[in-house]
Each structure stands twice: as C-alpha cells, then as structure tokens.
Chain A
Amino acid sequence: MVKLQDSAIAFSTVVSDRRGLRASQDAERFRLGLHGLDCTSNSLPTRATAVIGASAWALKAEQVDHTVQIIGRLGGLLADLGFQVCPVGADATRTAPPSLMVWVCGDETQADEYEQLKEIGAPGLSIGSCVDGLDDWDYIETEVVDRGDELTRRFVDALDAMGLLGAPETGSDSASRIPPEFPPSPASGGGTSRDQTASLESATPGDARRHGTRRDRSGRGTANS
C-alpha cells in the first residue's frame, strides 16, 4: 500500500510566519491618529466606505497577531459586501465620514480613542464590547471571534440590522452587497440560511438574546467614561 503524505503539511507555516514578521508593522495603519495613506485613489468615489481601526490595547504585542487576523477576515468580508475598505490611518477618513467604522478593541478602548471615534461621526460596529454610549454603534462579543464562521454570520447580521446591507448603492455591483451565503431574512421574503443562523446562535445560551441589543456595559473595563 502506498501511503500518501498530506501535501499541505509542508506549507503550514507559510502564512503564520509571515504574519508574525509583519504584524506590528501592518497593524500601525489601524491605529487612530495616524494618517498619510491614500486608499481610495483606484476606486469609484461613490462606493460606500468602511474604515477599520483597532484600539491601542488590541495592538499590544500580546494581542497584535490575533488582531490582524480579525482585521484581515473582516476586511475581506466588507470588500465582498461591496464596501471600499480603508484602514483608519487612511486620509479618506479626514474628508468625509465613512459609511461604517469597524473597531477591533478586545477589552479596552482608551478615553482619547473614544473621543476620536466620536469625532469620526460614523455608525460603528465594535469587536469587543468596549465602546459604550456612541449613537448608531453595535458590538459583537469578543468570544465570538474564535467560533469559526459565527463571526461572519454575526457580522453580516449586525450590518443588516444597521441598514447597511441591501441599501441603494450609488456605485457599481450593488448585488454584491448581499453575499450569496446570506440571503435576505425570512421577514423580507428570504430563504433558509438566515434560519440556520438563528438556530446556531440560539445554541449558545444567551447569544440570541444578546445579539443586536445594547446592554448595560458599565464596569466592563472600558476607559471611555
């Protein structure tokens, strides 16, 4: 019998090694207060823009590897949903408020970061319940990040709840704003995938109840009050 070796094993560290080498450097673009990157020069100016940033806490050496993975996943998802995606260090954020601000913060948002997020004046979604009191902001719990595809489902659901999916698009390819894996909800005449999403969320006690709601987050270690 010929035993075939899994060809993927030899490649298993290609990405992780590269991420480890570059994480700190790449992450700097997602820190508030830094500018100088033009990310919109090659795109249609009419596309909805999503900006991704990360808190100083999430960019600490202990967390940065995990943080850049989250940024990469969500950035790709936003691109597939039709957004022009920019890091918060891009100059685009200085000229007009983006359509969406995504904030990867883990356990902490500093007071000065909170003020800057407020100044940006865009609806936002935080990964980690660390931004409280900003209008039009929602959050996804940090624990969800490591639950495989649940982050994707929750992220798309949150954007949908914020009215950012399926909205009239001024740019091209508006159909791309609703990915095929996530058809419209049953309430709007859609199919079954949303039902599956709901049941998966309900499988974890409390998740379905918490989703899409704003609970009292005082005393959760934030520095924004």
Chain B
Amino acid sequence: MGDRAPRWRGGGRRGSGQARRLHGSLNPRWQTLLRDADAQFVLECLSEGREVPANRPSGYRARDCATINWFCDRAADDGLAVRSVRAIFEEGEPIFEASAIRTRSHVQIAIRDRSAILEAEEISW
C-alpha cells in the first residue's frame, strides 16, 4: 500500500480495509449460532476446570472474543473457514435523550484471512 498505508499512530489519520464476504454477527442466524456457541464454550470451560472469561461493563469483552475464537476454531475443525468477523458493540451514553446512537458505539472487524481484503482505501477526517 506504500504511501497510502494507513497511519494508526500519530497524524490523526485513520485507514480502513474494505473486505468482502464478511460473516457479520448482524445476521440473526449468526446471533443464534453464537449464543449456542457461547453456552457450549462455557460448558466446556467448566467441565475442564478452566476459568470462564467474563465481559465487563467497562467494555472489556473477554468472553465475546473467546467465544468467537472458539467458534472459529471449531468451524475450522469441521473444514469451514471463517474469513472475517464483524460485530457492532453499543457502548457509552446516548448522544442525546432516547437516542439509539451511543458515544462509544463502534464496529469491530477482524480479518482472519487476508485474501478477504480486496481493496484498501484511506479515510481521513
């Protein structure tokens, strides 16, 4: 990407990779799958004497992360590759009374297979 590479540190510029075939957790079917995956992941943690990671109100989402990683690994065991993961996290206070938009809401995207990135664009603001 050369000079167009995003600079995450310093300069106030942000970059974003544009990916295709995202497996978004916005899809209700994915939500159901992940809910089941979380229950199974927790069960296995307990039955094997491992600590269950916990999500924290501070925004530290240890179990969201662990559950998704666990699911991706189990899918890989079955020969199914998850190339990317996308999820919305609603955090912070409403930007105005009754708003559904919160001050710290964000989308997280994890690209597990770099070939899923078809094009990269730089965004500045």
Q: What residues of chain A have their CB less than 8 Å away from a CB belonging to chain B?
A: 6-12, 14-19, 22, 25-30, 37-39, 41-43, 52, 68-69, 71-73, 75-76, 79-80, 82, 84-87, 90, 173, 175-176, 179-180
| A79 in contact with B52 given A69-B36, A71-B43 (CB within 8 Å) | yes
B39 touches A76 (CB 8 A): yes
Contact A86/B54 with A72-B39, A72-B40 known, Cβ cut-off 8 Å: no
| With A7-B21, A15-B40, A76-B52: A29-B46 Cβ-Cβ less than 8 Å | yes
- Asked if B55 is at the interface (CB within 8 A of a chain A CB), the reply is yes
Contact of B52 among A7, A8, A26, A85 (CB under 8 A): A85
Is the Cβ of B55 less than 8 Å from the Cβ of A80?
yes
Whether, in the assembled complex, B27 has its beta carbon less than 8 Å from a beta carbon of chain A, the answer is yes
On chain B, the number of residues with a Cβ less than 8 Å from chain A's Cβ atoms is: 35
Q: Which residues of A contact B56 (CB under 8 A)?
A: 173, 175-176
CA distance A68 to B39 in the complex (A): 8
Cβ-based interface call for B33 (8 A): yes
| Candidates B23, B38, B45, B46; contact of A7 at CB < 8 Å | B23
Please name 21 pairs of A and B residues whose Cβ atoms are closer than 8 Å in the assembled complex, sorted by A. A9-B29, A11-B75, A11-B80, A14-B71, A14-B75, A25-B47, A26-B43, A26-B44, A26-B47, A39-B49, A68-B39, A68-B43, A71-B46, A75-B42, A75-B46, A79-B63, A80-B55, A85-B46, A87-B46, A173-B56, A175-B56
The reply to whether the CB of B97 lies closer than 8 angstroms to some CB of chain A is no
Which residues of chain A are within 8 angstroms of B94 by Cβ–Cβ distance?
A: none
Measured in the bound complex, the distance between the Cα atoms of B40 and A212 in whole Å is: 29
Q: Collect the chain A residues with CB atoms within 8 Å of residue B41's CB.
A: 72
Q: Specify which chain B residues have a CB less than 8 angstroms from the CB of A179 in the assembled complex.
A: 57
Tell me if B101 is interfacial: C-beta within 8 Å of chain A.
no
CB under 8 Å from chain A, chain B span 24-79: 27, 29-30, 33, 36-47, 49-58, 63, 71, 74-75, 78
Q: Contacts A72-B40, A72-B43, A85-B46 known; A80 to B74 CB distance under 8 Å?
A: no
Using a CB–CB cutoff of 8 Å, the interface residues on chain B facing chain A are: 21, 23, 27, 29-30, 33, 36-47, 49-58, 63, 71, 74-75, 78, 80, 82
Flag if B71 contacts A15 (CB, 8 Å).
Answer: yes
Closest to A4 in B: B21
In the complex, the answer to whether B43 meets A79 with C-beta atoms within 8 Å is: no
Does the CB pair A80–B33 fall under 8 Å? Answer: no
Additional A-B contacts beyond A14-B75, A80-B55, A84-B51 (17; CB < 8 A): A6-B27, A6-B29, A14-B74, A14-B78, A18-B74, A26-B43, A27-B47, A29-B46, A43-B51, A69-B36, A71-B46, A73-B39, A75-B42, A79-B54, A85-B46, A87-B47, A176-B56
The answer to whether A82 and B52 have CB atoms under 8 Å apart is: no
Most buried by B among A26, A28, A76, A176: A76
CB neighbours of B50 from chain A (8 A): 39, 42
Bound: A73/B71 CA distance, A: 16
